[in-house]
Amino acid sequence: MGVLQFEVTATDTETAARTGRLTLRSGTVQTPLFMPVGSRGTVRGLTPPQLRECGARMLLANAYHLALRPGAEQVAALGGLGAFMAWEGPTLTDSGGYQVFSLAEHREITEDGVSFRSPVDGTELFLGPAECMRIQNMLGADVAMVLDQCPPYPCERPDVETAVERTLRWSAACRQHHARRDQALFGIVQGGVYEKLRERSARATVKMGFDGYAIGGVSVGESEELRRGAVRATAPLLPEGRPRYLMGVGFPLDVVRAIGEGMDMFDCVAPTRMGRNATAFTPDGRVRLRNSACGRDEGPVQHGCGCLCCRLYSRAYLNHLFRCGEMLGPILLSIHNLAFYNSLMSRARRAVAEGRYAGFRDRFVERYLEGETTT
């Protein structure tokens, strides 16, 4: 492989937190980093320049959704994912493994792969390792993910073990079918909440030799305690010299805690989805802009935030936009939330570099939880 370069640039003195420099075909990014989710080739409501202004440097798209519409062939004909969505920077495509979990009513799993029936128009799509790699090779993201089976929670141990073994077989096949020399390929560790299965999955996946490694199968219904336990058990088993990606986990407390366990990359729909639903993230917890108190508040969403939303608009104005159903409200709060997340990443990197991440994490968690209890 070798298309990816990753250098650990600093480590914390009291935790497993670290900073790094990740170089891919389309550019270099600093870790820890947060990737906004643009499943269908767009982060809803935001343009690439707006995403850049928010601090985003790498985006995630979904192979399953893009294979359905407009089709991987169409994206390839238009220059690949980055050119298609006018994003000048690194990209990552999820394999569709998460849809094995989220579209359980519309799919059938066999040893060969997964047959999906689109909940939108009934379109059928089969994803096996060969098809998954063909689609992601055509989309042309900087990073592709192996096809995995993501079990739900709760799930009995024998069923999770089956998913682990199937994911390992699919991972090996994906590695064989991956054809682009300029595209990195990440393996995915499964295992649910079962520590021994996580260990089995991690050791076998690492042995295959991928460019990076992801922890999958978390944030699928389990408690915060179980989720944190799965990350704590898995992260130390992943190579120090490769990027570590925690898939689909992205609420602020989850992120700062996972950084302390040594994770480097994150994605989640939370910043934009919550923004579309009138909720803002701040260091003092969430602010719900539909609340009547916000309708009289002349202040910004977050004092000291330099994003477009906070520079120009008051909570009262945002309250008005959401009450009227105006589309500007979700756009502005999505901008703020992504700017908040990327500022959090920047502050975390600085804390690691200065050897004070444990204190940074603990103060952030304390302040955030205190704000949550008083709003």
pLDDT by residue, tens only, the chain of 375 residues: 469 999 999 999 999 999 999 999 999 999 999 999 999 999 999 999 999 999 999 999 999 999 999 999 999 999 999 999 999 999 999 998 788 778 878 889 999 999 988 777 887 889 999 999 999 999 999 999 999 999 999 999 999 999 999 999 999 999 999 999 999 999 999 999 999 999 999 999 999 999 999 999 999 999 999 999 999 999 999 999 999 999 999 899 999 999 999 999 999 999 999 999 999 999 999 999 999 999 999 999 999 999 999 999 999 999 999 999 999 999 999 999 999 999 999 999 999 999 999 999 999 999 999 999 876
Query: How many beta carbons lie within 10 A of that of residue 326, not counting itself?
Result: 13
Tell me, rounded to whole angstroms, the distance of Cα 191 from its chain centroid. Answer: 19
Which amino acid is it at 116?
Answer: F
Sign of CA dihedral 141, 142, 144, 150: negative
CA 98/CA 104 separation, integer angstroms? 10
The pLDDT tens digits of the residues spanning 237-275 come to 999 999 999 999 989 999 999 999 999 999 999 999 999
**Contact call for residues 86 and 51 (beta carbons, < 8 A):** no
Vertex 145 angle, CA 16 and 235, to 5°: 15
CA 129/CA 138 separation, integer angstroms? 14
SS3 state at 364: helix
Residues 6+ positions from 355 with CB-CB distance below 8 Å = 12, 13, 14
- The structure tokens 């009138």 sit at 278
CA 63/CA 41 separation, integer angstroms? 10
Entry field: residues in the chain: 375
pTM of the model: 0.96
CATH 3.20.20.105 matches 5-268:
yes
Please give the torsion angle defined by the CA atoms of residues 78, 79, 84 and 86, in that order, rounded to the nearest 10 degrees. -140
CA 328/CA 102 separation, integer angstroms? 29
Beta strands in 216-259 (DSSP E): 244-246
> Residue ranges per domain, the chain?
5-268, 275-374
CA 96/CA 67 separation, integer angstroms? 10
CA 94/CA 247 separation, integer angstroms? 9
Catalytic residues: 94, 267
SS3 state at 70: coil
**Contact call for residues 139 and 183 (beta carbons, < 8 A):** no
